[in-house]
Each structure stands twice: as structure tokens, then as C-alpha cells.
Structure 1
């Protein structure tokens, strides 16, 4: 987190960032679709300003984000107005599809993956995590169960198919976000508290991973070869990738364990499909650490931590603490 904050503390960035972080929370105080639409547009404006102020790679990114989200907002508002005159029409499906477009969910993922590939890691974090908060909340207020289940299962399968032979880390994280979004969408149907828990645990884990990639300026899988002699980097990378894959007793395992315990009696077949998706996705997380941990195993000394600095410990220790806290919470609360 230290590296992300350093980038954001530029001129006027702190003000825009504060407004961008606090604006999604206002959705809890809104009671109409028009006020929600207004909040979506405000959040869109703030994020575009933030992109323009911090865009160093591609000047078309902000325009692409504006066109996609403004189109989805326009269609959403149109069918909200049309529903006032046609009471027999079922417009939930179309309005849900517009929210899927804002989320970058399958089959509206092309703009999302392209933006991920052309932004720096700090912007990728905002796009993958925080910008999904309002659309997910709006889906919670009006959702079509059959559509959400269909899109979630197809999106999880599609993310696995597209990750084959993928070497660009930003695209890999983008497809990983689509895979985790399948879990979040299904949790919205059955338990709001479960979705909140999963969302914030995923945000924390994603923050740790992006801090690592940002610190060492990693862009491709081949970039890991540069750090073969850095044993603390190997340990940190394995810890995070196993956690992203949901391998016990890592932090990411508890994130999915609570989910499975809550919903296994309701939709066991759906949970089994999502678990299968996670296991297949773990293979690709394992690819990230295979070269650093297996090929050069003769030079590995995982218990040699002399190269650790304070900033690394500031990110690893909280991750371990959250793992232990969630473990004890499950048994004693």
C-alpha cells in the first residue's frame, strides 16, 4: 500500500481520490433508481478525472472508459423511464446487462481487459476493485436470478479458457477479477453479508499482489527471472499466489471457505462448479511461481530473510494477522 499511496499523493490527487473513495458509500442512503443513476454518473466523472491526471501510457483510456460507461448508463436510464409506462414489461434483464457492462463481466469484458493492459498497476487496482462497488450494489437491489447464475458460470469458464498461454500479468489479473466476480455475483443473490465479506477480503488480497508487482515493476511472467536470487521475493510471491488460489491455510482459503459453508446447502452443484473453476485457475497462479521456486530449487533458501526490509514486513505481517484473525473468528464467534 505504501507504493500506491506515494503515487496518489500528487497535486490535487488526494482530493479527487478522497471523493472517489467516499462516493460509493452514498449508495446506502439512496432509495430510488434515479438517485443511484446520478451517483453512478458522479463516480464516472471522478474516475475519468483521476485517469486523466495519472494517465502516462495511453490518452485513449479515459475516452474508452467514458464511452462504455456512458452508454450503459444511458440505456439503464432509458429502461428505468420506460418501465414507468409499461408496468407489464420485465426490464430487470436489460438493466442487469448494463451493470454487467460496467463491471467488465463476460460477455462485456473486452474494454475491461484492454484498459487493464494499458494502465499502470495503481489504476488497475481501482478498476478491478473499487469501481465495481456501485454496480454490484445496484445489482443487489434488482437482479434476475437466472441471468446472474448463467453469466457467473459462463464468465468463470471463459476466464479459464482465456488465461491459457497468457504471459501478461495485467491481463492475467483482469481475467482473475472476472473469475472472482462470478463468486461475488452469486453471493449477492443469497447473502448480502457474505458478499461484503468476500469483497473486502478480495480487495485486501488484491492490494497485496499489486503492491508486489508495482514495487518491482513486473509486467510479464518472464520478469520473475530477474529476481531468482531474492529469496524473500520468492517467499512473498508463493504466499500471495497460493492465497489467490485459495489453498489452505492461506488468507484466500478462508475467503472461499466462508462462502462454501454458507451456500453449500442451498446450491451445492453451483458451489462445486465454482470450486472446479478455482482449482483450474490455481494452475495458472502456480505458473507464476514455478520458474522461481522449482527450476532453480538448488539455490533456494526460504528461511534466509536477511534481504527483508521494513516495507515488505509492513505488508506481509498484516496479511498473516488477517489470516489468523479469520481462523479464530470462525471457531469462536
Structure 2
């Protein structure tokens, strides 16, 4: 038991140290080393539950992250020797997008999260993005705005009809990842402040460790429902909650530098808030599982109309911006 506790503490220290190495390093080889250190420590933390589901998640996560690390190292050795900096930067961005699980590489997320404990899920959704976001900030990528637009849009659309809280949070995290990527185009402090606030909001999930589905919310007492509602309002970024101020920081900068993207993100936030409010209304006003089923099919119709509206807005914004 002592050995396990000692290994757990060591894993946490290694995890934190991996972030420090990446951010303080001026060499991509040291960043690759931080990938490996981060992977080893995070895998051990995932092993904490010791269930079949957690083992499956751990193996899938290990295979994907190991592939990224190998490709990253191979790219450094090959492309630097051949002095192909443009290809290297593009490949590096794509690998970091795969590592974070954002557009167009979000296919592996839902399988990996099923076996994670709430504690590990919070880490996975938040601080595990530090290293890939930092690498993206080091590289000039012309198409980053496209990635941000489609990451936030697809993440929001995938939130629709998700009654698994884990899957809902994964796609919600995609939207927030888009905001953080927009913040890193402005400077280190912008995306780091956004990330810190996002971590603080997600920490409230620790109060709902046994809550796996929105169907189970009817079993919460009134105080628990109110706490969960505050967390959802924070995630949606509605004023005057803390999540609003992180978005306001980025929007205030975009007002002077990129007005069209600012308009797009505001419109996206409005529709995202509608989705969060829809789930919260079901929490307070749906009384039975049958009511949930009815609400689900009614929401399918609303979601289709919402999807059409989003597509129209996206076309208009892309036409104006590009």
C-alpha cells in the first residue's frame, strides 16, 4: 500500500514536471521528452481504478499518444536534417491537434474517456492540453483560424443529444479548446488564464463522481441541482459567471484585431448557451425517464432547426471573413 501511494505521488510530480519542462524548454527535443514523461505519469494515474474499462481506456490512450510521440521524434530527425521547416510546422500542428482530440481528429475521444475516473477526466479535459497548446503557440500556422472555427462549431453540434455527461463534457471541451487556441494567437497569458479558469470550473465535477448520465439528475437533491446548474452556467460562459470573464478577455482583444472572428465566437456562444440551458431545463422540469424520452425526440426537431441556422451563420461568416 505504501508503494502504491509513493508511486502515485511520484506520478503527480512527474506530470507537473512534464508541463514545466515543455514550457521552459527552447528545444523541440526537450518537448518530446516532456511528451514521454507526461505519458508515463498519466498512464499510471489512469491505472488507479484497476477496472476492465479503465484498462481499455489506458491501452487506447497509450497507443495513440505513443504514435504521436514516435511521429514527433521521427519528424524532428528527418525534417530538420532536410531543412523543411514549412512541412515540419504543418505536421507538428496536425500532431498536436490529434494529441488534443480536436477537429479533425476527435474520433478517439469517446472511447478513451469511458474508463476514466472523474479526477482523471478533469485532467484529461484541461491541463493535458498545456503541452500541445504551447507547441502550437511556437509554430506559425496559416490555417489555424479554420481549425478554430470548425473545432468550436463541430464541438457544439456534437453536444446536441448527448445524455452521457462524459461525452457532453468532451464535446464541450472541444469548444473551449477552440477558445484557448484563439487565445494562444494573442499571447501566452490569454490562453493560460482561460485554461486556469476552465480547470477551476471543472473541479466542481468532483462533487458529482457517481453522476454518469443526465438521466440521473432527477435523483439529485435541490442543493446538488443548483450546484450542477452553476457549473453548467460557468461552462456556457454566461454573465456574470466566471466563465464569461475568460471569454470576455479574448473577445476584447479580438474587437481590435479580428472583428469577424469575434462576431462568430459571440454567435457561437449564444447557441452554446441555448444548449446548456436546454439540458438544465430538463434537469429541473423532467420528472421521469419517459419524459426524458419525449424531450429527446422533441429536441431532435429543435436541434435540426438549430443545425440549419448554424450552417447558414457559418456560411455568412466564412464569406465575410475569407
TM-score bracket for this pair, using the shorter chain length: 0.7 to 0.9
**3-state DSSP class of the match of 2:47?**
helix
Residue number in structure 2 paired with 1:20 = 15
Matched residues, number: 282
Which of 89, 93, 116 is the matching residue for 2:113?
116
Residues 171-200 of structure 1: CA deviation (Å, up to 9, x unaligned) = 000001100000111111122111111111
Residues 228-267 of structure 1: CA deviation (Å, up to 9, x unaligned) = xx22123212222111111111111111111111222111
Which of 246, 258, 276 is the matching residue for 2:249?
258
**3-state DSSP class of the match of 1:53?**
coil
Residue number in structure 1 paired with 2:312 = none
- Answer yes or no: is 1:195 the counterpart of 2:191: yes
**3-state DSSP class of the match of 2:257?**
coil
Structure 2: which 5+ runs fail to align?
288-322
Q: CA 1:118 to 1:283, structure 2 compared with 1: closer, same or farther past 3 Å?
A: farther
**In 1, Cα distance between the equivalents of 2:75 and 2:286?**
56
**In 2, Cα distance between the equivalents of 1:75 and 1:19?**
23
| Paired residues for 1:43-192 under 5 Å | 43-58=38-53, 59-90=55-86, 91-144=88-141, 146-192=142-188
- The normalised TM-score by structure 2 is 0.82
**3-state DSSP class of the match of 1:265?**
helix
CA RMSD of aligned residues (A): 1.8
**In 1, Cα distance between the equivalents of 2:256 and 2:276?**
29
**3-state DSSP class of the match of 1:247?**
coil
Residues 115-168 of structure 1: CA deviation (Å, up to 9, x unaligned) = 123322111111111211111111111231x22211111111111221221110
Which of 275, 279, 295 is the matching residue for 1:284?
275
- The normalised TM-score by structure 1 is 0.80
Q: How far 1:84 sits from its partner (Å)?
A: 2.2
**In 2, Cα distance between the equivalents of 1:44 and 1:108?**
19
Residue number in structure 2 paired with 1:224 = 217
Q: After the TM superposition, which of the residue ranges 195-204 and 77-86 deviates more from structure 2?
A: 77-86
Q: Is the 8 A contact 2:163 2:213 kept in 1?
A: yes
Residues 84-125 of structure 1: CA deviation (Å, up to 9, x unaligned) = 232255121111100111111111112222212332211111
**3-state DSSP class of the match of 2:239?**
coil
Structure 1: which 5+ runs fail to align?
1-8, 297-333
Q: CA 1:89 to 1:292, structure 2 compared with 1: closer, same or farther past 3 Å?
A: closer
Residue number in structure 2 paired with 1:325 = none
**In 1, Cα distance between the equivalents of 2:44 and 2:232?**
33
Q: Is the 8 A contact 1:113 1:171 kept in 2?
A: yes
**3-state DSSP class of the match of 1:190?**
coil
Q: How far 1:35 sits from its partner (Å)?
A: 1.1
Residues 199-251 of structure 1: CA deviation (Å, up to 9, x unaligned) = 1111111112x12321xx11111111112xx2212321222211111111111
**3-state DSSP class of the match of 2:262?**
helix
